[in-house]
Structure 1
């Protein structure tokens, strides 16, 4: 049974204003775990104490690629103390998209992370689907170049969809290497650009994606809304209600 988590980037302004109160609200709403993108200068010990109090699990942390390159030992030590096993590459700038260098660095980082008992994963956007290497999406080229024991998949299913591919097919393709998915919905503006919206308010086929993820054995279905037109806490509450309704209709998730 998949657990439901929240990528805290969705409520980043609230966290910056009041870190503790925001995490308490996330727990009160019913999320089982949280995925971090920053800790706002707090120690691993203090964050772990708060999570333990709130009975929130750490899903993973989005660690900037430059931190993994230049401060890997420090990141490993912090996350071992926190009790987090997933270090996740969150995004690559255009300058960082030197693919041969990236593949070599992911292998090196993945080996060191593995030696320390942690797991490296990669979170995609749409450019990994639209950019090609030898007529193959970068998304697939990354996982061809780096073995599963060194790099796991955190699939952002909305960006796979927006990139022009079928998330259900991609979930099946990476079954066994896919511990976490991001479940996200989107609409489009007048220029056909993606606008992230609450689950169930857009065009993404969420039921099919959630069903496929559960069949593929994912551990976590993580809600993320990159930008919220409504107050972020209201948005994440609405998305959790969609997942609760999905569970009530037979979806095999823990909410």
Structure 2
């Protein structure tokens, strides 16, 4: 019997069919250019911009969200990125500066070749984000977003977790989404901070769909219990697929929602070790 089974396993048609079945297991779940948030390399850019960009290129990354490093103009940084086949699709701006001079952010975005400007923090007393903070943000975001739309740029608010403070029958994040003008204000989902703030990224994608235009891909260490501070130690940021975030389902729904750009952001202090693992994980996912 053993000899018969061995002979069956070694026959060429059987081996070929087995190989074919694995090859046809499914199409890649990711169909987007793999991007990176430049904050991932916050410790490297100040030391050597060119070497850092070469590292990013070597990983096969072709899309970036970020701004010009200190001491370099937007045009100079864009040129270095272009030479390495890296497009800067999005950049960011601080809340106060965006309120004060949204056109400055527009001009910097255009100089970088970016189509999106995101804001990642609303000023508030840490751990005590409240309705007044949300109301002011709504007013400011609608005004900033209109200026940007009038000048060909899409404005996005990037959640940081503290916005999921309970409010009425939902959260203050729900309040912000419902009270901002969809024509002027879109959103960037940071999946780690969404999870850390006690929200469900999958449920939010189902609920708000195309209000989301951008996404930060990152994973939260298993066993970590989040809170509403918008902060967690860097060691809690683990390679994609090793944490508690449901990345495959998020990517399926993000694709359906029409997310335009996906940026891996690694906030650990082990980005050179973790980034290749995260990229390999994304490439391994099948529909």
Q: Deviations over 1:80-115 (max 9, x none)?
A: 122111110111232595222211111111111111
Q: Which residue of 2 aligns with 1:122?
A: 157
The Cα of 1:206 is off from its aligned counterpart by 1.3
Q: Would you say the 8 A contact 2:195–2:226 is kept in 1? A: no
RMSD, aligned α-carbons: 2.1
Evaluate the alpha carbon distance shift between residue 26 and residue 190 of structure 1 in structure 2; reply closer, same or farther with a 3 A threshold: closer
Q: 2:216 maps to what in 1?
A: 182
1:215 is the counterpart of 2:256: yes
Q: Would the aligned equivalents of 1:2 and 1:217 in 2 still touch at CA under 8 Å? A: no
Q: Corresponding residue for 1:166?
A: 200
Query: What does residue 224 of structure 1 align with?
Result: 265
Correspondence 1:152 to 2:186? yes
Query: Tell me, which stretches of 5 or more residues in structure 1 are unaligned?
Result: 251-255
For the pair 1:88 / 2:121, whether they are aligned, the reply is no
Q: How many residues align structurally?
A: 245
1: distance between equivalents of 2:251 and 2:196? Answer: 17
Structure 1 stretch displaced more, 87-96 or 113-122:
87-96
Alignment partner of 1:245 is 2:284: yes
- In 2, are the aligned partners of 1:2 and 1:218 still within 8 Å (CA)? no
Q: Out of 110, 118, 123, which is 2:145 matched to?
A: 110
8 Å contact kept, 1:127–1:163: yes
Q: Contact (CA 8 Å) 2:202, 2:253: kept in 1 or not? A: yes
Distance 1:220 1:66, change over 3 A: same
For the pair shown, the structure with the greater C-alpha radius of gyration is 2
Higher normalized contact order (CA 8 Å, seq sep 6+, divided by chain length): 1
TM-score, length basis structure 1: 0.88
What is aligned with 1:199? 240
Bigger shift: residues 209-218 or 5-14: 209-218
2:67 and 2:193 map into 1 onto residues whose CA distance is 18
1:19 and 2:60 are equivalent in the alignment? no
Kindly indicate which of the two structures has a greater share of residues assigned to strand. 1
Q: Is the 8 A contact 1:5 1:59 kept in 2?
A: no
User: Residue by residue, what CA displacement relative to the aligned partner does 1:207-235 show, whole Å, maximum 9, x if unpaired?
Assistant: 1111221222212222112223x2x2222
CA–CA distance in structure 2, aligned partners of residues 214 and 19 of structure 1: 32
